[in-house]
Structure 1
Amino acid sequence: MSKWWPVSVRRGTALAAVLLSASVFALGWFGMREFVRLQLSHSAIASTQQQLDRMADAYRVASLGAGPTALTSAVSSGSALFEVISDSGRPVVASKELRQWDPQWTPLPPAPASAPSDWKISTTATLRPGKHPDWREYRTYTVLGRVVDDVSADLIEPLGREATDLHTGLTGAGDAKPQRLTLYLFVIPWDTLRIVSTLDDTLTFFAPLAVLLTGLVAWFTAGRALRPVEAIRRELAEVSGSQLGRRVPVPRSRDEIAKLAETTNTTLDRLEHAHDQQERFVADASHELRSPLASLRAGLEVALAHPDRADWPEVAQRSLLDVQRLQRITADLLQLTAEVPAPTGHVDLADVVAEQIAERALQPGPVFRSYVDGPAVVPGEPVQLERLLRNLLDNAARHAESSITVSVGASGGEVVLEVLDDGPGIAVADRERVFDRFARLDDARARDAGGSGLGLTLARDIAVRHGGSLRVEDSPRGARLVARLPRSS
């Protein structure tokens, strides 16, 4: 950012609007001025050419017998600047103002001797008024010229006349043969200069006013547009670790600022969720890790206090069990707090069930039975869905008396996975609480068999992440946990 450019967005916007509008008005002013000047100049040249043609026609008519009276109206304006030159280069007649405006005026040259009868020229001449009291400006004029053949001598003599028209001062005498004359007429720029000056005066007043109004409009518009941003900033400034529930105001307008506010609130939602997960992780870890750590420490301290009477293999075995429980609790807690990406693959739950049943068939404990009704393909991650089924089976194995039944089937657009054990079951009042972290029920389903207390919590979390659900449903005997997942199309 340049040092001279304001840091404030509002001031920067207003300054940018002022600079842009000033540039646009300046270019428009220059363009309009040049356009008007060129149009008026072309119009003045066309009008002067018409007047020059009338002068030539007047000489022709007068030479054909109409006499000097035909020259009376040849010059339509008394302020016209003209000059008539003979082939010898001597001036025949010239405007009286011409020598007043340039005391050192040198007559223009005649047309070339070989010039045709329709010869025309457009040239320039500079008038130098010198110390003339009423006209001190040096100016270059456009001068139009043409020739007239066979002009009677009585329309020429005497030479060197100065007048406001073509016939003043003529003597009517002259026996010389007809001559060719070169007529020059100056293009008078006064109308062009006056209109351009009026345009300049007008724009000198209105252009700065328009630039000022543009800057003010930009200032107030930017302030109004940034008002919601300031409200968002103030609200964000109040957000802290103890006030993550606050949200920024969303403007009613559906513009970019409203989208920014919505995105900010979405980010705050994720931040609050992450903060809650962190707090739960800290609380759960501090609560659940305390018991196995205390047990591990107490066992080791007792053994060290009486090393000669300690059964060190048994101490090591108990310590290993406590360490394994600590590992399970830590892994489950990390799994709950980790951000798992959305499922991208497809998994056949029938294969997952077959693998898990085959793995547990060789282990001591309850008998596992499975009923699979055809392929049961769902969108998901194989590791996660295997973890879901493993947790359900581990939970059932801890509480089953003799058998566990696993069934998989399709129902409409869902795949239904059921795990049923023949244990004491779960009371209706506890069917939701059993999915809470470290939930403790009665002694029949207490965590006395090595569980971390997070298995069902993890299982439901995986089911929800895969767009499904996990519930405890009615059964004649034991606990019946049912997971429903969307079926792959």
Structure 2
Amino acid sequence: MTIMKIGTKLTLRYLFATTLLVVAVFAVLETLLFPRTGYDMLTILNVKLLIIWVLSFTLLFVIGYFMARSVLKPVSKIIKQVEDITASNLSKRVEIDNQNDEIAELAETFNGTLDHLEKSFEAQKMFISNVSHELRTPMAALIAELELSLHKERSNEDYKKVVENALADAHSIEKLSTGLMDLAKASYNAKQISMSSVRLDEVLLDASAMVMKAHGDYNVDLIFGNDTDDYSMVTITGNEYLLRTAFVNLIENNCKFSSDRSSKVQISFSKGKVFVRFSDTGIGISDKDMEHLFEPFYRGENRNFSMGHGIGMALVDRIVKLHKCTITVDSRRGQGTVFTLAFEHI
């Protein structure tokens, strides 16, 4: 990290010196310009006041000039260093010797802004790199399949197989692009997202129906843990589309990593909270993968068990944070995984 050193000076000593000098000037003028007898006191008073005004103004101007230079000097240094900072050298920071003045607070605030900018730029670079990599694989496979089919004549069955493979690659690209758009929406500021009253039981029904329609071999067992006619107990303030997206991802995650392709979803409420649990009896998640579970594009030890792009769990995490709820994960290798979401109901 490049260090830019900024020195700041206290101005209290100048204020103190100014006070002493003004008092001294007045004392000297009092002695020299106020004789006891022999002068017209009114004339002398006018002269004295004029001289005192001129000398005081001059003295205050000179001292104020040096005080201003002392105060603004570190600000000028900060400005010069800031002009040298670009997107390619965001690692530069400002170091402050004196931690007890306003200049130090300014530099610390600027350093904090640079920290956020550097993290954002690094995340953006990583995101673009990962997206490029994920898109390149299905696109390359699609192009290869089509080019190979043009090289020689094939039977109708061969052409059908080529079309099926190309369609599978196209679906993979579509799913990736949809996931990226949802990830972008979930990255918005909470104030930019429309929120309304949402019944979680209805969203879960929609999500489970969507999963089973898209995957004929998936099975979702939806269980309501409490019986009540008060729908407010399962109603929260949220965005229905994003919640449905998160639930679909969790259900699909349960199903695709389970040998029986099933997910058990349970909704219950207690003490002002609504709990939604997504459980399976699948292969589980290792401790190492658990540490990176919500990182975008991370593919753990289970990558060979099922296809994916590593977007789903990162998307779930961002949606959960937008809705200010908590998510806990309990997983055991070879026994299964349970995701528990806790919402504040209205």
| TM-score w.r.t. length of structure 2 | 0.72
Corresponding residue for residue 453 of structure 1: 310
1:234 shift after superposition: 4.0
Corresponding position: 1:271 with 2:122: no
- In the alignment, is the contact (CA less than 8 A) between 2:217 and 2:261 conserved in 1? yes
AA in 1 matched with 2:46: D
SS in 2 for 1:431: helix
- In the alignment, is the contact (CA less than 8 A) between 2:254 and 2:262 conserved in 1? no
Corresponding residue for residue 387 of structure 1: 245
C-alpha distance in 2, partners of 1:395/1:217? 72
Corresponding residue for residue 294 of structure 2: 435
Corresponding position: 1:202 with 2:55: no
RMSD over aligned CA atoms reads: 3.2
Q: 1:412 to 1:262 in 2, by over 3 A?
A: farther
AA in 1 matched with 2:342: R
Corresponding residue for residue 189 of structure 2: 341
Structure 2 stretches of 5 or more lacking a match?
1-38, 227-232
Aligned match for 1:280, one of 122, 126, 129: 126
Corresponding position: 1:371 with 2:223: yes
String of CA shifts for 1:378-410, please: whole Å, max 9, x gaps.
Answer: 443222222111111122222231431011233
C-alpha distance in 2, partners of 1:305/1:342? 53
String of CA shifts for 1:21-62, please: whole Å, max 9, x gaps.
Answer: xxxxxxxxxxxxxxxxxxxxxxxxxxxxxxxxxxxxxxxxxx
Which of the pair has more CA radius of gyration?
1
Corresponding residue for residue 58 of structure 1: none
C-alpha distance in 2, partners of 1:317/1:308? 15
Q: How does 1:163-312 map to 2 (within 5 A)?
A: 194-249=40-95, 252-253=99-100, 255=102, 260-261=106-107, 263-308=109-154, 311-312=158-159
1:316 shift after superposition: 2.8
For these two proteins, the number of residue pairs brought into alignment is 294
String of CA shifts for 1:428-452, please: whole Å, max 9, x gaps.
Answer: 3332333333333445x53644x32
String of CA shifts for 1:79-136, please: whole Å, max 9, x gaps.
Answer: xxxxxxxxxxxxxxxxxxxxxxxxxxxxxxxxxxxxxxxxxxxxxxxxxxxxxxxxxx
Corresponding residue for residue 4 of structure 2: none
AA in 2 matched with 1:367: N
Corresponding residue for residue 207 of structure 2: 356
1:249 shift after superposition: 4.9
Q: 1:328 to 1:266 in 2, by over 3 A?
A: farther
The answer to which of 266-275 and 452-461 deviates more is 266-275
Q: Which has the higher contact order (CA 8 A, sep 6+)?
A: 2
- In the alignment, is the contact (CA less than 8 A) between 1:356 and 1:390 conserved in 2? yes
Which 4+ stretches in 1 moved above 6 angstroms?
none
Q: 1:285 to 1:340 in 2, by over 3 A?
A: same
String of CA shifts for 1:332-376, please: whole Å, max 9, x gaps.
Answer: 335445641216544332231122234445562232112234533
- In the alignment, is the contact (CA less than 8 A) between 1:438 and 1:454 conserved in 2? yes
C-alpha distance in 1, partners of 2:238/2:110? 30
Q: 1:224 to 1:412 in 2, by over 3 A?
A: farther
AA in 1 matched with 2:257: H
SS in 2 for 1:467: coil
C-alpha distance in 1, partners of 2:69/2:77? 12
C-alpha distance in 2, partners of 1:276/1:194? 81
AA in 2 matched with 1:368: V
- In the alignment, is the contact (CA less than 8 A) between 2:257 and 2:306 conserved in 1? no
C-alpha distance in 1, partners of 2:265/2:88? 46
1:473 shift after superposition: 0.3
Corresponding residue for residue 336 of structure 2: 478
1:414 shift after superposition: 4.3
String of CA shifts for 1:241-277, please: whole Å, max 9, x gaps.
Answer: 343244445774565x566545534432442232122
Corresponding residue for residue 9 of structure 1: none
- In the alignment, is the contact (CA less than 8 A) between 2:145 and 2:162 conserved in 1? yes
AA in 1 matched with 2:166: S
Corresponding residue for residue 326 of structure 1: 173
- In the alignment, is the contact (CA less than 8 A) between 2:236 and 2:345 conserved in 1? yes
SS in 2 for 1:406: strand
1:477 shift after superposition: 2.9
- In the alignment, is the contact (CA less than 8 A) between 1:231 and 1:249 conserved in 2? no
AA in 2 matched with 1:467: K
C-alpha distance in 1, partners of 2:68/2:47? 32
- In the alignment, is the contact (CA less than 8 A) between 2:254 and 2:261 conserved in 1? no
C-alpha distance in 1, partners of 2:339/2:247? 11
Q: 1:474 to 1:278 in 2, by over 3 A?
A: closer
1:309 shift after superposition: 5.0
SS in 1 for 2:299: coil
Percent identity between the aligned chains?
27
| TM-score w.r.t. length of structure 1 | 0.53
C-alpha distance in 1, partners of 2:200/2:115? 34
C-alpha distance in 1, partners of 2:301/2:174? 25
Corresponding residue for residue 465 of structure 1: 322
The answer to which of 339-348 and 378-387 deviates more is 339-348
C-alpha distance in 2, partners of 1:228/1:353? 59
Structure 1 stretches of 5 or more lacking a match?
1-192
Q: Per residue, is there more helix in 1 or in 2?
A: 2
Q: 1:236 to 1:268 in 2, by over 3 A?
A: same
